[in-house]
């Protein structure tokens, strides 16, 4: 699958958007498990996956925001010193 070009970000990576959606679904399941078990013990696997999904979602979001904020002249170049 090739990335789609957009005017705002240069390239759109649908795979990263899909990963963010999976992380958001994990966060939703975490909250649903906590709300659904107010009167009984929480299900372990659903509660355990909440914090890692939040971290993963924020890391991907930060990467995508930083990528879109870069000037067009710096895209495709490394951050190291020019030789």
Instruction: Give the model's pLDDT for residue 65.
Output: 86
Q: How confident is the model at residue 78 (pLDDT cuts 50, 70, 90)?
A: low
Instruction: Give the model's pLDDT for residue 74.
Output: 61
- When pLDDT is averaged across residues 8-22 and rounded to a whole number, the result is 80
43 CB-near residues (< 8 Å, 6+ apart): 33, 37
Q: Which of 14-18, 59-63, 71-75 is least confident? A: 71-75
Residue 29 has pLDDT above 60, yes or no: yes
């Amino acid at each position: 699958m090739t990335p789609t070009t957009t005017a705002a970000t240069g390239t759109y990576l649908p795979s990263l958007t899909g990963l963010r959606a999976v992380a958001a679904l994990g966060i939703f399941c975490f909250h649903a498990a906590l709300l659904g078990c107010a009167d009984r013990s929480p299900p372990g696997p659903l509660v355990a996956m909440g914090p890692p999904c939040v971290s993963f979602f924020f890391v991907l979001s930060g990467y995508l925001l930083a990528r879109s904020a870069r000037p067009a002249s710096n895209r495709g170049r490394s951050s190291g010193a020019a030789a």
